[in-house]
Amino acid sequence: MLGEPEAVAESDVSEEAPSAEVAETEVETEVVETEEQPVDDDEDFDWEGKKLRLPKALKSKIENLDRDYTQKTQKVAETRKELEARASEIEQQAKASEAELKTRATVITLEEQIKPYADLTQAQWQQWAQEDFIAADQGWKLHQHLIQRHQAALNDLTKLQNERSEQAKSEHSKRLQDTENFARTIPGWTPEVGGKIADYAASKGIDRATLEANITPAFYDILHKAWIGEQALRKQAAPKPAPTTVEPTKTVTGRANPLPPTGLDDRLSQDEWLKRRNAQIAARR
């Protein structure tokens, strides 16, 4: 009988053990379920034909760099086109100038060839015809042919000069417009500022006609900066006013022993005020 309780105790222990294991398993399960999974912040994108997987923040920076590079490349391409157009324009101007020079030389040469015939008087022509009719006739025909060539060369020269003049006017108008557009991009620029810059140029010996004939955005930029620099120098050189000393404000304090009020005064006591009032009335009687 004494052994039965012990057997019962062992049985109780063996039944409680699985409960402890279950509790431990439940605890472990809860821990696993509460673990945070790593967040995948990477993203796939194409760059120069290659597949890359990078963090989103780095992707954004790369895209911004790529965008800036594209914009700068486009700007360089535009500038190159402008330079190529300008170079072609200069080349065309050189060709036009060369053609004009050649035509002018032709005009001068023909004038020299015409002069001996043009200097002959009618009597000299008749005398020449009497002496050698065939030679005189050939000379006259050559003279007329040279005059025709000379007139044609003069027409060509006038045409080239007009084209050059029109081209110069067009270029001048374009430079003025480009300069005006550039001036509007200058911070703080106004038409009034533009007038001051023109006055500054005039003070340096560049009159308005010369300024307009040679103005370019780069030239205007230099003038603007020179004008600002001179203004700054003038401010530095201007005499500064002498510093003024401010005297401390004097505080007026009451007297240590103020005089007693005279006559009827609100500061008097009621008895004293009545006493003085009665004295005034008595004095008037």
Tokens of 256: 């240590």
- pLDDT over threshold 60, residue 5: no
Closest CA to 160 of 230, 86, 102: 102
Neighbours of 146 (CB within 10 A): 19
Q: Euclidean distance between the first and final Cα of the chain, in Å?
A: 142
Question: Is residue 143 a contact partner of residue 83, using CB atoms and an 8 Å limit?
Answer: no
Selected residue with higher pLDDT from 183 and 42: 183
Does the pTM surpass 0.75? The reply is: no
Q: What is the pLDDT of residues 56-96, one digit of tens each?
A: 666 666 667 667 667 766 766 666 666 666 666 666 666 66
Cα(214)–Cα(207) distance, integer angstroms: 11
Closest CA to 101 of 28, 53, 157: 157
Cα(215)–Cα(207) distance, integer angstroms: 12
Q: Is 259 helix (H, G, I), strand (E, B) or coil?
A: coil
Residues 6+ apart with CB under 8 A from 46: 52
- pLDDT over threshold 50, residue 181: yes
Q: What average pLDDT does the segment 272-283 reach?
A: 76
Residues 6+ apart with CB under 8 A from 154: 107
Phi and psi angles of residue 263, each rounded to the nearest 5 degrees, phi first = 65, -165
- pLDDT over threshold 60, residue 192: yes
In the prediction, which pLDDT does 30 show? 47
Tokens of 135: 């030679």
Q: What is the pLDDT of residues 109-144, one digit of tens each?
A: 999 999 999 999 999 999 999 999 999 999 999 999
In the prediction, which pLDDT does 145 show? 95
Cα(197)–Cα(193) distance, integer angstroms: 6
- Is 273 exposed, middle or buried (CB count within 10 Å of its CB: 0-12, 13-18, 19+)? middle
Q: What average pLDDT does the segment 30-46 reach?
A: 57
The H or E element spanning position 172 is: helix 133-184
Cα(92)–Cα(85) distance, integer angstroms: 10
Selected residue with higher pLDDT from 160 and 5: 160
Neighbours of 153 (CB within 10 A): 20
Cα(168)–Cα(96) distance, integer angstroms: 12
* Continuous H helices in 185-216: 191-203, 208-214
Q: What is the pLDDT of residues 196-244, one digit of tens each?
A: 999 999 998 988 888 888 889 999 999 999 999 988 888 877 676 666 6
Domain boundaries defined on the chain: 186-235
Q: Measured between alpha carbons, how far is residue 126 from residues 6, 116, 123, 147, 217 in Å?
A: 172, 15, 5, 20, 67
